[in-house]
């Protein structure tokens, strides 16, 4: 029985979770570029892809909270995202639509200011508002999973905040020293964060469902997936619960490869789809 209790289920580090999210995203884009709509295969691939964005938002939140330079992290995402968007606007001569990287960059900016935990936290209203409002047709800007991203970033930040406050409360009420509280955080805090993140994520999807029910009749948005498909994103909780909070394998080449992969695979998929 003791052996069962000692099994460590937190087997996914930052690198592993990011690879999983990239694979899920790639499967989603295979469906988007190569499978005719609406077919069963198209829906299955897009459903699988719905698990990617919550994982990216979770990792970006963790990165913003643990990074020594979260603003630099956000700026990198924003620069790559805006360059992709600029190319799409020039090519399509259409409105600004935004992509996953621009959504993630705004989310990281929001978490950075929220984590100040003072008056500066009010600045987070700006990026969160842009994300949230972009899901409504009256707003002139479109962002990839805008409202969902805003809800997820707030949810994952609150999960971190509540877990930390709970650990401090239990430690102080039990008379533990600051060193003991820090030791507890190092060993058990991530599990609490993961659980709370999944609970708050589920709440976000419930809020999204209610807003979606109202939005369909008031401010419809074209070319977006239905909530019935979007809702499968909650299944990403399976991976988030296995996160151990560690960085995992990392080097500079790999670090920048993640930024390059998004626009590169989109470009390759577009070229292939154009000729077939």
DSSP string, the chain: -HHHHT-----B-HHHHHHHHHHHHHHHHHHHHHS-SS-HHHHHHHHHHTTHHHHHHHHHHHHHHH-S-HHHHHHHHHHHHHHHHHHHHHHHT------HHHHHHHHHHHHHHHTT-SGGGGGGHHHHHHHHHTTSTTSS---TTHHHHHHHHHHHHHHHHHHHHHHHHHHHHTT--HHHHHHHHHHHHHHHHHHHHHHHHHHHHHHHHHHHHHHHHHS--TT---HHHHGGGGGGHHHHTTB-S---S--HHHHHHHHHHHHHHHHHHHHHHHH-
Stated pTM of the model: 0.89
Tell me the pLDDT band of 1, cut-offs 50, 70 and 90: very low
pLDDT in tens, 145-157: 889 999 999 999 9
pLDDT in tens, 42-54: 999 999 999 999 9
Average pLDDT score over residue span 252-271: 86
Tell me the pLDDT band of 144, cut-offs 50, 70 and 90: confident
């Amino acid at each position: 029985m003791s052996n069962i209790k000692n099994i460590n289920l937190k087997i996914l580090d930052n690198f592993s979770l990011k690879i999983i999210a990239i694979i899920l995203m790639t499967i989603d884009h295979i469906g988007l570029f190569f499978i005719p709509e609406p077919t069963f295969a198209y829906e299955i691939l897009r459903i699988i892809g719905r698990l990617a964005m919550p994982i990216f938002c979770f990792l970006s939140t963790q990165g913003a909270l643990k990074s020594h330079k979260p603003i630099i992290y956000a700026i990198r995402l924003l620069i790559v995202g805006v360059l992709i968007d600029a190319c799409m606007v020039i090519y399509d001569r259409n409105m600004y639509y935004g992509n996953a990287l621009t959504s993630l960059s705004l989310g990281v900016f929001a978490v950075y200011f929220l984590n100040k935990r003072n008056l500066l936290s009010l600045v987070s209203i700006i990026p969160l508002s842009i994300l949230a409002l972009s899901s409504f047709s009256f707003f002139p800007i479109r962002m990839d999973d805008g409202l969902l991203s805003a809800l997820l970033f707030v949810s994952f930040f609150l999960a971190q905040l509540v877990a930390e406050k709970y650990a401090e409360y239990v430690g102080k009420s039990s008379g533990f020293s600051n060193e003991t509280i820090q030791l507890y955080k190092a060993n058990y805090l991530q599990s609490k964060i993961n659980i709370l993140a999944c609970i708050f994520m589920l709440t976000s999807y419930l809020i999204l469902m209610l807003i979606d029910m109202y939005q369909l009749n008031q401010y419809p948005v074209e070319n977006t997936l239905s909530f019935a498909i979007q809702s499968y994103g909650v299944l990403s909780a399976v991976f988030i619960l296995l996160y151990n909070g560690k960085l995992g394998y990392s080097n500079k080449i790999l670090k920048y490869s993640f930024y390059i992969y998004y626009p590169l695979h989109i470009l390759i998929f577009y070229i292939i789809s154009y000729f077939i």
